[in-house]
Amino acid sequence: MVDERLRRLRSELDDHSRIADRLGLDLERPLRSLNDGYPENAVALVGKLTEKLLKELWRHHGVEGDPSTKALNDLVKRCRPYIRSSTVVDALEDIRRLRNRSTHDGYDISDEDGLLAVRRLVDVLVWFTDTGSAALLGGEPDMAPEVARRCEFLAGLYVTLGYRQAKRFVLSPDTVYQLFCRESGMRLEYVELMLSRDADDLGTVLAASGGELLRTRLPKLTRFVVLDDDGGAAPGALHQMLGLDFRIVRYDGFVDTIVNIDAHLADLALADTPAQGRAPVAAAALTTDPRTGESTVEQSGDAAELVRRLARGSANVLVTGRPGSGKSTLVRSLAADAGIRRFRFYFDLGLKPKDEPFSEYAGRLLAPAMTADRSRAYDLFLYLIRSGTALCVLDAVDEGVEESSPAGFLRLFTDLAAVLSAESAVVMSSRVSFLADSPQVRQLLDSGAGRSEQLVEQMYANGVDPSRVPHFHVVRLAEPEATPLEKRLTTALSLPEGKPLADILGAHITRTLAGRGQGDLEQRLPAAFGQAFLTDRTVFSLLDVHRQLGPGAFTGGRLDLDACVLAPLLRPAGPDHVAFVHTAYQELLAARFLADPANRDLAAGRPGGAFLTEQVRAFLAGMPGRADSDDCVLPAGAYLVGPAERLLIRHINRPVRFDRHAVTVARYRRFLDVLNTDGTSRWDHADQPAGMTHRPWTDRLTRPDYYENPHYDAYPAVCVNWWSAYAFAAFEGKRLPTCLEWEAAARGADGRLFPWGDTPDSALVNCADTWVGQPVVTYQAWYRDFAGDAVRRAGTRRVDERPGNRSPFGVIDMVGNCWEWTSTSLDDPGEAVICGGSYDNPMRAVQTSTKGIYRKRGGSNVVGFRCVQDIDPSPTKETTA
């Protein structure tokens, strides 16, 4: 069996003698090693041959540097951008992997490994031979360079579609003849192609040959004449010389004979006004500081112009903004603009099923636009975007992840790696809260930013080569008082200006159903569509809509979109399937669903957790809910917790009463009075390290008399380690809260960003913004405005100084002033989670979800604590702490 495969490989290698002769390659040597029983030598020889091929490719494309000193890994990495074929890229990766295993990993190389290495080498050679690439074959002296380049591109199209080049004749410097064939079942299919840059030149060539270019009886299923310039000889005269079965096509339009880009983009019916009539949207293009990872403004202006300029320059762009800011309208208009790029592709990842790989999703969407070979739609797409002449728009990337977290995005990024690493421009859109505000994802999208070792390890674990991750320019849309979506709906519904987005969307839903005589259906929408959103389901069949809402959801007994009473709120999402015209509608229904505590309990118990977005949380926070209490009791129930990119619903199983204020110096001094002489106590934790003392770490206090001066009695007890906080809580008959309890008590049932609500207010919190007197937005601003004079003045303040910093349960000063210890440890039992931020953090870092990790032995001026007490579920008296 091996002998037969060797014979076939030897025969195939003979087809590439021109490359071998030109580069001085002995393609027989790997086969001889295999035949002699040395597969490891065959793999090593294939690696050496591949190095020679890639060095020639390096020189041909003028890659910076000297390839003669480069090893295979570097050669593959640097030459990859110049290889359009995904088959060749995969083949090179296989060869590199096998060679590394053989050379470095001590892997036992089998005959199968050796045969695979030679097989993949053949795949590389086939591409360059069949496309007539000058990179390895050398240029043909009598062919114009531009004609050679175009011949290679067109040949690559057919090779991608499974053809191989059967014949190729250079008829003149400007005219070339090519014949391609492929197996189709039991028969062969042929395509005859003539490329001429000039119609007059083609006429001269035809006249000299009597109109017959190749005397053959081979059947031609498709015959083309491709002209760069269709002037000169009249098409009728060319047809007369060629015969009527030839099709004359301009070069720029030839790809349309294979895939109809206009048909693919036909569904981009914009819900907004045309681009020329649309009001400009202010935006800023951001760049990332490689040292700090913080974003700074690079340029600003109209969003459409910024993105268009970057896309025309082959830049990758991430467009971010809040819901309704016009992201989708912007990127859709970009995809519809024929002046941007020759080939344009648009994919709405919000409609991609989470369990469907992007390759299958893209192939499914592109297949209807293919004139033939629909099964190769994705391969053709990859070929075109590797050509560097395409634009790929990936709308709503944040909706395409399995879970809203950096890890979830990394998995999606892995699925999109072939697209993102191509030479063509990629434009993505996402909400601000998920991508632009996640430090890990900012590092992931910016190859110039210093990536953490943990992120690099995660990238490798997910099969993503960090060196292949492209750089993305971030264009952040401004946040005006009213977004384009809000303005459009406010005008269409004749609503007063300034209404919140939830009220606007709610009014649209109410009027849509009332206008069709089905107003009663509105109360059923949260359970039907809001609950579905929590399971990450955004696409519905019309039959699903009928099942959920009943026959009243359709008029005339017709099960189609036009007959659906929700039609103004829906858009097509495939045959007989629909989705909401904007995700915010379904997010509002999800928030309405969660407003019922019983439904929150249901969502919290869902296996794998509920799918939540920041907009769902914001809608929920703006809804009337349970009245605030003042007894400092956190009731049992389900609560929204976690940062914006990883929101969760978690259960608090039993009620607890919080200290109204953080433990003060005066309270802690009472504990100091009962300590043992060595600084320990009878309330110590069983695992407390030897030599630990509960006396404050006075050497670290910025105010040396902090624990002696009565002036500081109402200030928080700081420079106290975790073991001391634990012992103090036990001394008072209490305990430290878990980080889940702490966050739930700070956020309330609606998941608010700050204890008082969602609106930042530096007057309510002791943070860096307070001491600077203005918002501290970036690290540079913090370093410039706070780390100098302000940090010398700043410090903790009285725990009762800001009563407005109050949680829905009456707990005071939970964010800012000082971090607070919790009982929660994660991976390292010597560390514990701290919550809330402190006086030296900016406002954006002192939120109810703010958490950090601190060593338990540590004592700091910015870390204090408060206690909780387990209580019975029955009503309790208000705490006096």
CATH of the domain at 676: 3.90.1580.10
Q: Are 411 and 450 in contact (CB under 8 A)?
A: no
Q: Angle, to 10 degrees, between the axis of helix 583-594 and the axis of helix 501-515?
A: 100
CATH number at residue 389: 3.40.50
Q: Is residue 643 part of a domain?
A: no
Distance of CA 231 to the CA centre of its chain: 47
Cα distances from 668 to residues 619, 657, 664, 724, 837, in angstroms, run 41, 19, 6, 10, 21
Give, in degrees to the nearest 5, the angle at Cα 783 between 777 and 789.
115
Same domain, 696 and 821: yes
> Which of 210, 246, 201, 208 has its CA nearest to residue 228?
201
Domain identity same for 711 and 858: yes
- Specify the DSSP class assigned to residue 529: I
132-166 burial, b at 16+ Cβ within 10 Å, e below that, comes to: bbbbbbeebeebbeebbebbbbbbbbbbbbebebb
In whole angstroms, give the CA distance from residue 862 to residue 526: 44
Q: Percentage of the chain with pLDDT > 90?
A: 48
- For 513, phi then psi, to 5°, come to -75, -40
What does DSSP assign to residue 866? -
Which of residues 221 and 491 earns the better pLDDT score? 491
Q: Which two tokens stand for residue 628?
A: 């605030």
- Kindly state the average pLDDT of the residues 123-137: 91
Q: Cβ contacts of residue 334 below 8 Å, gap of 6+?
A: 304, 307, 308, 311, 340, 391, 393, 427
The predicted structure's pLDDT at residue 209: 65
User: For residues 135 and 263, what is the distance between their CA atoms, to the nearest angstrom?
Assistant: 34
Residue 89 lies in a domain: yes
Same domain, 245 and 340: no
Together in a domain, 275 and 422: yes
State both tokens at 95.
């060869």
Roughly how many angstroms between the first and final C-alpha of the chain, as a whole number?
84
Closest CA to 326 of 248, 411, 432: 432
Rounded Cα distance, 256 and 345, in Å:
13
Question: Where is pLDDT greater, at 415 or 421?
Answer: 415
Residue 880 lies in a domain: no
- Is 603 part of any domain? no
Bridge partner residues of 519 (DSSP): none
582 and 434 share one domain: no
Give the Å distances, CA to CA, from 779 to 228, 295, 296, 318, 606. 54, 9, 10, 22, 39
Tell me the CB-side half-sphere exposure of residue 329, using CA atoms within 13 A. Answer: 26
Confidence at residue 189, expressed as pLDDT on a 0 to 100 scale: 86
* Sequence-ordered list of residues with C-beta below 8 angstroms from that of 187, at least 6 positions apart, any chain: none
**pLDDT tens digits for range 266-283:** 877 544 444 444 678 888
- Are residues 720 and 740 located together in one domain of the fold? yes
**Average pLDDT, integer, range 113-119:** 92
In 3D space, the residue among 388, 384, 18, 389 whose CA is nearest the CA of residue 168 turns out to be: 18
- Whether 623 has a pLDDT exceeding 50, the answer reads yes
Instruction: Decide if 706 is inside a domain.
Output: yes
Nearest CA to 84 out of 143, 135, 122, 144 is that of 135
Rounded CA gap, 85 and 384, in Å?
9
Q: Give me the phi and psi of 84, to 5 degrees please.
A: -85, -20
Do 453 and 557 belong to one domain? no
Give 175-206 pLDDT, tens digit per residue.
998 999 988 777 788 888 989 888 888 878 77
267 and 253 inside one domain: no
Give the 3-state secondary structure of residue 666. helix
630, part of any domain: no
> What are the C-alpha distances in Å from 262 to residues 255, 268, 363, 611, 846?
11, 10, 16, 35, 49
Backbone angles phi, psi at 271, to 5 degrees: -80, -5
Instruction: Give bridge partners of residue 869 from the DSSP assignment.
Output: 657
pLDDT of residue 220: 61
> Taking the alpha carbons of 565, 568, 569, 575 in that order, is the dihedral positive or negative?
positive
Position 720, amino acid: V
Kindly report, residue by residue over 486-517, the tens digit of the pLDDT: 888 999 999 998 899 999 999 999 999 999 99
Cα-only R_g, the chain: 34
pLDDT at residue 273 in the model: 41
Report the pLDDT value the prediction gives residue 878, as an integer from 0 to 100.
Answer: 43
Same domain (yes/no): 165, 311: no
637 in any annotated domain: no
pLDDT band of 339, cuts 50, 70, 90: confident
Residue 346 CB contacts under 8 Å (≥ 6 apart), including other chains: 264, 265, 268, 331, 332, 335, 393, 395
- Pick from 162, 115, 165, 164: which is nearest to 7 by CA? 115
The last residue of one of the domains, among 103, 132, 161, is: 132
Where is mean pLDDT largest: 648-662, 690-704, 775-789? 648-662
| Average pLDDT of the segment spanning 591-598 | 94
Q: How far apart are CA 870 and CA 743, in angstroms?
A: 16
In angstroms, the CA 845 to CA 531 distance is 31
Say whether both 245 and 299 belong to one domain: no
Contact 34, 114 (CB under 8 A): yes
In the predicted model, is pLDDT for residue 323 greater than 70? Answer: yes
Average pLDDT, the chain: 86
557's tokens: 């007994």
User: Region 206-224: what's the mean pLDDT?
Assistant: 65
Q: How many of the other CB atoms lie within 10 Å of CB of 170?
A: 18
Q: Please give the Cα distance from 879 to 660 (Å, whole number).
A: 7
Please give the pLDDT value at position 274: 43
Q: Which of 367-381, 445-459, 853-867 has the lowest mean pLDDT?
A: 445-459
Residue 22 resides in a domain: yes
pTM of the model: 0.79
Long-range contacts of 138-142 (CB under 8 A, 24+ apart): 138/22, 140/170, 142/170, 142/172, 142/173
Full residue range of the structural domain in which residue 777 is found: 656-870
Q: Count the Cβ atoms, other than its own, within 10 Å of residue 11.
A: 9
- Say which range, 16-30, 301-315, 831-845, has the weakest mean pLDDT: 301-315
Lowest mean pLDDT among 84-88, 430-434, 514-518, 660-664: 430-434
Question: What pLDDT, on the 0 to 100 scale, is given for residue 125?
Answer: 93
Residues 122 and 194 in one domain: no
Confidence of residue 860 (pLDDT cuts 50, 70, 90): very high
What is the reported pLDDT for 116? 92
Residue 433 above 60 pLDDT?
no
CA-to-CA distance for 698 and 718, rounded, in angstroms?
A: 10
Q: Which run of H or of E encompasses 762?
A: none
Looking at 181-195, 280-294, 736-750, which range is the least confident one? 280-294
How far, in Å, CA of 147 to CA of 153, rounded?
10
User: Which segments of 393-524 does DSSP mark as H helices, in order?
Assistant: 406-415, 417-420, 439-445, 453-461, 484-492, 501-515
% of the chain at pLDDT higher than 70: 87
Average pLDDT of the segment spanning 608-623: 90
CB 679 within 8 Å of CB 689: no
pLDDT digits (tens, 9 = 90+) for 678-697: 999 999 999 999 989 999 98
Q: Residue 339 corresponds to which amino acid?
A: G
Tell me the C-alpha distance between 273 and 485, whole Å: 12
**Phi, psi values for residue 167, rounded to 5°:** -140, 150
The whole-number average pLDDT for the span 129-145 is 88
At residue 876 the predicted structure's pLDDT band, cuts being 50, 70 and 90, is: very low
User: Is the model more confident about 804 or about 476?
Assistant: 804
Domain end position, chosen among 544, 559, 594: 594
The verdict on 467 and 429 lying in the same domain is yes
Total structural domains within the chain = 5
465: tokens are 């080569």
Within 13 Å of residue 422, how many CA atoms lie on the same side as its CB?
Answer: 24
Give the residue from 574, 594, 614 where a domain finishes. Answer: 594
